[in-house]
């Protein structure tokens, strides 16, 4: 099989690393990829959100399946684009349709979906700018801290947690004044959940599913989980409290109702679901859904997956996951992110990267790296 993997980050490098191990693979193409993925297949210089470019690549390289890494192409409807095109509709896309991607693309839709299907989540209400006074009244009903979220995608920055009611009202005004553009035209205010987070990854063919190894990511820049939030400074798998009892609660109360809910709403969902879960005194609550694998969690999850990932993806495309068995390695993995000084603020680019991979069990995944005109790996 010739596989096209869309994306350029550490998540895509980890997926490419795992797909590359499959005997089912003939050739792997990564678009646009990064300096690390070029050692696993062929990088193609195109944007994953330029669907015409993707189509041309699929035809040119005889692609058998498209695996979508990031959320933007999914939310913009790449799966629908394939289904509506006579030249492409026979080629499976691993990733939901535009409606399915609303689980991530619209927090209002996502929270409503949870309520409709009895999936445990924090108490919430959604508001548009013309109902600001009602939003402020709802805030006053909640206990500090206060959680305010932009409805749409906001590059991972559309959530604020406020310690005081005054701070919450100020942030609410910023949302309604256009701080997040279209993404913030609808705002979700929800109860703060006290607990410990875990990321749960599900692969579904629309009817059946498998649960992949769980992970926990660490977002703050400083040692000891301090400092500014980032896209993720590391992740570990497995997670200590995710024992068989907690896993059963997650599967029965969250995973099964999610898959059944998607099917009952006529949503064609073939792909990954990343469920962000809060463990509140031993009980799981959904914080958010994402319509793809996590980053940096994928870098910790893929090395623990013993089963052939590409075989699972083929079973997903053919709606045969009911025949799948998933095996994990029992070892633990820790993904540590190395960043340029200054991140997540302004940071220097073009800094040479050099490293020695002397530990045989260590794997290096690339994100935010390029080869400069002199052939040197830089930030």
Q: Which phi and psi (to 5°) does residue 312 adopt?
A: -65, -40
Smallest CA-to-CA distance from 66 within 325, 365, 285, 314 is with 314
- pLDDT, residue 239, reads 98
Smallest CA-to-CA distance from 92 within 313, 323, 371, 245 is with 313
- pLDDT, residue 224, reads 85
What the block records as the tokens of 61 is 């390289």
- pLDDT, residue 211, reads 98
3-class SS of residue 322:
helix
What the block records as the tokens of 33 is 């990829």
Residues 103-145: tens digit of each pLDDT: 999 999 999 999 999 999 999 999 998 898 999 999 999 999 9
Q: Which residues of 233-266 are buried (b: 16+ CB within 10 A; e: fewer)?
A: bbbbbbbeebeeebbeebbebbbebbbebbeeee
CA angle at 292 for the pair 368 and 183, rounded to the nearest 5°: 80
Q: List domains and CATH numbers for the chain.
A: 2-98 (3.40.50.20), 123-191 (3.30.1490.20), 196-337 (3.30.470.20)
Residues 222-258: tens digit of each pLDDT: 888 888 888 899 999 999 999 999 999 999 999 999 9
Under a CB-based contact definition with an 8 Å cutoff, are residues 54 and 332 in contact? no
- pLDDT, residue 237, reads 98
Query: For helices 132-141 and 165-176, what crossing angle results, to 10°?
Result: 150
- pLDDT, residue 117, reads 99
Q: Which residues of the chain are under the pLDDT cut of 50?
A: none
- pLDDT, residue 360, reads 84
What is the distance of C-alpha 220 from the center of its chain?
18
* DSSP label of 355: -
Q: Which residues of 117-145 are buried (b: 16+ CB within 10 A; e: fewer)?
A: bebbbbebbbbebebbeebbebbeebeee
């Amino acid at each position: 099989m010739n596989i096209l993997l869309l994306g350029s980050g550490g998540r895509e490098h980890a997926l490419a690393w795992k797909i590359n191990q499959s005997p089912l693979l003939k050739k792997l193409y990564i678009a646009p990829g990064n300096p690390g993925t070029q050692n696993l297949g062929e990088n193609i210089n195109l944007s994953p959100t330029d669907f015409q470019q993707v189509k041309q690549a699929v035809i040119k390289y005889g692609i058998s399946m498209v695996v979508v890494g990031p959320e933007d192409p999914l939310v913009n409807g790449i799966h629908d684009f394939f289904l509506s095109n006579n030249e492409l509709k026979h080629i499976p896309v691993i990733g939901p349709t535009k409606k399915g991607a609303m689980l991530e693309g619209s927090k209002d839709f996502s929270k409503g979906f949870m309520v409709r299907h009895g999936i445990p989540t924090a108490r919430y209400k959604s508001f548009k700018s013309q109902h600001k006074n009602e939003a402020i009244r709802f805030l006053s009903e909640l206990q500090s801290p206060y959680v305010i979220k932009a409805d749409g995608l906001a590059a991972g920055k559309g959530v604020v947690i406020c310690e005081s009611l005054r701070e919450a009202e100020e942030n609410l005004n910023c949302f309604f004044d256009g701080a997040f553009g279209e993404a913030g035209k609808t705002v979700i205010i929800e109860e703060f959940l006290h607990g410990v987070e875990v990321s749960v990854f599900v692969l579904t063919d629309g009817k059946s599913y498998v649960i992949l190894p769980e992970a926990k990511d660490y977002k703050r820049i400083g040692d000891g989980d301090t400092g500014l939030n980032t896209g993720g400074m590391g992740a570990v798998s497995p997670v200590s409290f995710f024992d068989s009892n907690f896993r059963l609660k997650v599967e029965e109360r969250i995973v099964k109702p999610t898959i059944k809910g998607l099917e009952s709403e006529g949503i064609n969902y073939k792909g990954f679901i990343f469920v962000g879960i809060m463990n509140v005194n031993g009980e799981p609550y959904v914080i958010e859904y994402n319509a793809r694998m996590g980053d940096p969690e994928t870098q910790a999850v893929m090395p623990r997956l013993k089963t052939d990932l590409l075989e699972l993806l083929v079973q997903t495309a053919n709606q045969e996951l009911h025949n799948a068995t998933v095996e994990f390695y029992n070892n633990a993995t820790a993904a540590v992110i190395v960043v340029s000084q200054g991140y997540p603020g302004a940071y220097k680019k073009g800094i040479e990267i050099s490293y020695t991979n002397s530990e045989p069990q260590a794997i290096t995944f690339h994100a935010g790296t390029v080869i400069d005109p002199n052939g040197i790996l830089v930030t």
